[in-house]
Amino acid sequence: MAGRFRLTLAQMNPTVGDLAGNAALAKRAWEDGKKAGADMVALPEMFITGYQIQDLVMKPAFARDAMAHIDALREACSDGPALGIGGPLLQGDNLYNAYHVMKGGRLVRQVLKHDLPNETVFDEVRLYDKGPLSGPYDLGVVRVGTPICEDAWHEEVPEALEESGAEILLVPNGSPYYRGKFDTRLNEMVSRVVETGLPLVYLNMIGGQDDQVFDGGTFVLNPGGEIALRLPVFDEAIAHVDFEETDDGWRAIPGDIAKFPNEWEQDYRVMVEATRDYFRKTGFKQALLGLSGGIDSAIVATIATDALGPENVHCVMMPSEYTSQASLDDASAVANALGCRLDTVPISGARGAMTEALAPLFEGTEQDTTEENIQSRLRGVILMALSNKFGAMLLTTGNKSEVAVGYATIYGDMAGGYNPIKDMYKTRVFETCRWRNANHRDWMMGPESEVIAPAIIDKPPTAELREDQKDSDSLPEYADLDVILTALIDDEKSIAEVVAMGFDPAIVKKIEHLIYIAEYKRYQSAPGARLTKRAFWLDRRYPIVNRWRDPS
């Protein structure tokens, strides 16, 4: 009789450091698999600790505690299917990223990650020791090979497993989102299937951790590269996939293929999930933000509402003598459309008092951006006071274009604990507002309606820190600025290459200069949701002190 093998895949959301909570999630998945008659239940990479854990894993007490929780799972899950779970392995002075496979109360195998990623947000070369190549493990029905995440992005480990008798490849992952990541994963895994001739299971986790969101999208490939199963992106899912032995080897029996959203929906979902999990995992319940009547604060208020619910979002309008009535009306319209609380705290009096206090020291000088920035910093003081008094986390609202060139006031509008739109250029903010107005999903806690009026989207952006101010007074139009920034930051193009795209050399050099001198601001800025491979923080790490400029 042909062999059959049922594998339960647990696409779940661990929390970094919550060892007991993560173990409870694993136990729940194992019990589901047991009820379904599974032969094995699999969880993602480093699931017991959460991911990414950065230098926390280098603390021996933490690694030992994680291993103790895995041992407890081995005993608690002895009467049923095998259990595979990612977690650290500390052996003497060596620390490994490992996959622990247990069955019947005993340890079947500890697979050690061989290829350690050292790019973008990953620093595993400095965290872990490189594991040796290993063969498959025998579960009595089938021999399973487990390349851990990066191991499956290269030929060596999967081919070694196939050559040593693996019949199915199970790839546990902690793979965070960036725009277009799913296609990259799929193409790489198809290559491994073609090279080995084996079915492959790509198991990913979900959930937000600091700047990163793990987007799930677990899938199963049969030889030839055909998708046999795909789980939803971003949502928890526990699914059972059956394999059967054929004359040509093991094959996955086709199952459901979840619908795949477009990049606008995925980006928006990442910002919502990043905000939701940042609050949930840090213990905050309510969000606070300054609502200016502009597009950036409007989309952040909308993201916060979709993440936390309107009852948990507090907006504050802080007008000065330069604030237009249109901005007051637009801020009120956004708060009303979302159903959020809106309070108004004028800053004119406080600004007057500050101007008077500084007058003796400023005597004989001309007004400049110093006086403008005082307004922004007063707003930061007010918002942080409300945050301290009521325990709400302050969200900051600078888009990637502003963050890139330092068009934001440090200790002013940069004050805050999280920035949902930190990795979204201004031109994408415009389109994201339009997308949200036209779309609503069941994972959004905000209203199903147009929440950002077209007048807010279409009006010229302004900080309103002086009379008739517009962003374009200091910067190129965003349609041009974002192209230049994408070239210089995301694509690492030279000045000459950007000029060859049709831009004025003086403007390109100015933008490059602004990017470099704003580095110190970014080092002090709030974390934010990562949408691209060149997000500010772990993806792009530049020195603060840097006198080099492109001579071209």
Sign of the C-alpha dihedral computed for residues 501, 502, 503 and 505 taken in this order: positive
The single residue of 77, 103, 149, 273 carrying the catalytic annotation is 149
Q: Which residues of 260-298 are buried (b: 16+ CB within 10 A; e: fewer)?
A: ebeebbbbbbbbbbbbbbbbbbeebebbbbbbbbbbbbb
Contact predicate 340/368, CB 8 Å = no
Nearest to 381 by CA among 342, 419, 354, 358: 354
Q: What is the number of other CB atoms lying within 10 angstroms of the CB of residue 68?
A: 13
Q: What angle do CA 476, 478, 479 make, to 5 degrees?
A: 105
The dihedral through the CA atoms of 323, 329, 335, 338 has a sign that is negative
**367 exposure class (CB count in 10 Å sphere: 0-12, 13-18, 19+):** exposed
Among candidates 393, 428, 387, which has minimal Cα distance to 299?
428
Place of tokens 């949200």: 436
Residue 99 to residue 270: CA distance in whole angstroms: 27
Kindly name the residue from 77, 103, 113, 426 that is annotated as catalytic. 113
The yes-or-no answer on residue 372 being catalytic is no
The answer to whether 45 is a known catalytic residue is: yes
Neighbouring C-beta atoms of residue 91, cutoff 10 Å: 11
Give catalytic status of residue 433 as yes or no.
no
Give how far Cα 72 sits from Cα of 2, 85, 109, Å. Answer: 35, 12, 16
The one catalytic residue in 45, 162, 372, 512 is: 45
- Distance (Å, whole) CA 52 – CA 208: 10
Residue with tokens 């290829």: 115
Separation of alpha carbons 64 and 56, rounded Å: 12
Tokens coding 6:
């049922």
* Residues identified as active-site: 45, 113, 149
